[in-house]
Chain A
Amino acid sequence: MCGIVGLFLKDSALEPRLGELLAGMLEVMTDRGPDSAGFAVYGVGDADHVKLTLRGSGLADIAAVLGGGVTGVLRDTHLVLSVPRSEEERVRGWLATARPDLVVTGAGQRIELYKEVGLPAQVAGRFQLSAMAGTHGIGHTRMATESAVTTDGAHPFSTGEDQCLVHNGSLSNHHSLRRMLEPKGIRFATDNDSEVAAGYLSWKLREGATLAEALEASLDDLDGFFTFVVGTESGFAVLRDPISCKPAVMAETDQYVAFGSEYRALVGLPGIEHARVFEPEPARVYAWERA
């Protein structure tokens, strides 16, 4: 059992509150996943810089060591580097050789991705999620059933620039999918089945599919139970497996689209009492793109 949440804002007036709203949703889902939590937020960014979210220790002086216009924002065990595109290759090379202990949890123009072991409220608090602004975000609370409680096993997973996925369920053909995807250049950091789903979508998106098309294709190629919530730089999507094994409820207003494993996760959202609340149908792709 896990809890997943997502919030995609249509009304820019709510953007300063994205983190606060997402933190509230995440905390309610503690009952479904008390052992670790993670979230991705799509905040500010520009085409000239790539944001790299690093996880590990000894992060404080990295931006200064790198120089070259690289800046960093440190939040507990995570450091978000803003790297000029012209410096990206050098920075990634330095990280690989000088700091192989660090994990790059996410990369892209706007994505920041945090995950840690602990109660969701504690995890959100350590990274000051409530103070974050952005256009959309997704989150996950984990109750590990198939593998150990580790930060690596926490969601979201990101396998492409500005892409991330949270998953409630389990996949049964992730080994064969991994063998199919790795020769195509999709790299995985963990043995987790959900990361394979993220990698599958990254591959489809790289091949030119839209987010909705990539999810459509996953219905044919993924075997197992899943409710996915997926984010891209400008998009937000939800998909449930054909027998809707895992719970899902959505709410839509003029201001936002929200997803929760349970309705309880949505009750703190503004105007929820007048929202269109509905259960996404199995095997149907729900996707939104920012105008």
Chain B
Amino acid sequence: MPVVDLAVTPKRDLNAQLHALPANSNETHWRVVNPQGQHALAAGLDAPVTVEIAGHAGYYCAGMNQQATVVVEGNAGVGVAENMMSGKVHVKGDASQSAGATAHGGLLVIDGDASARCGISMKGIDIVVKGSIGPMSAFMAQSGNLVVLGDAGDALGDSIYEARLFVRGAVKSLGADCIEKEMRDEHRRALLVLLDAAGVAEEVSVDEFRRYGSARGLYNFHVDNAAAY
């Protein structure tokens, strides 16, 4: 197992090594020590490998990820897994703002809390936050699922399109055009799959969640909605 010590190896060298991995590489398990909050760690990967980051990561960790599994054994800074296409990112601590922003696919699991704008403009990613999320999360969310075992801050799902939001705790307030929706069996089934993928299907029940989504009132311009645009 390659171990890269960022106290001696420049971050760009680490990322260059990871970018150079062929799809059939035998080096499938990497460990990165002394990350010290550096930015863009393991960003832009496109190979089915696992990268463990032994500590706190800075901004944009695992951004643009495809195929890879990236585990952060600490907190992650702004924009973890932003624009992820596929693969999995697991943050064992808290995530800062804009976790999973604009991401098209893959699974982002955050064991702790995520701060403001979690899942902003998400386009297909699945996000499971075991703690709580900050204000303005899922702003303009377009597709995918955001699952929150704790609470959600102000203005959840403001100007949301078709993403599904499942919150187990309290929602401080809903944003413009975001409403609570009925939990049907199809939603329960989908939620169970996500809880299972995040390893918490045994701990919580799908019946403890409420579902939120778009009222679809802002899709087309209507002058009565002028104040909400």
Interface residues of A (CB under 8 A from B): 243-244, 247, 249, 262-264, 266-267, 273, 277-279, 281-282
Contact = CB atoms under 8 A, between A and B. Distances in A.
B115 A263 contact: no
Contacts of B36: 264, 267
B75 A244 contact: no
B58 A282 contact: no
B116 A262 contact: no
Contact of A262 (B37, B94, B115, B134): B37
A281 B115 contact: yes
B24 to A, nearest CB: 35
B97 A244 contact: yes
A263 B78 CA distance: 11
Contacts of B96: 247, 249, 279
B58 A243 contact: no
A263 B135 contact: no
B77 interface: yes
Interface string B71-82: 000110110000
Contact of B116 (A266, A277, A282): A282
Given A262-B37, A263-B37, A282 B59 contact: no
Closest 8 CB pairs of A and B: A263-B37, A264-B37, A267-B36, A279-B115, A244-B116, A263-B56, A279-B96, A277-B75
Interface in B154-200: none
25 contacts: A244-B97, A244-B115, A244-B116, A244-B134, A244-B135, A247-B78, A247-B97, A249-B75, A249-B96, A262-B39, A262-B59, A263-B37, A263-B58, A263-B77, A264-B39, A264-B58, A267-B37, A277-B56, A277-B74, A277-B93, A277-B94, A279-B94, A279-B96, A279-B97, A281-B134
A243 B135 contact: yes
Contacts of B94: 277-279
Given A244-B97, A282-B135, 4 more contacts: A263-B37, A264-B38, A277-B56, A278-B94
Contacts of B116: 243-244, 282
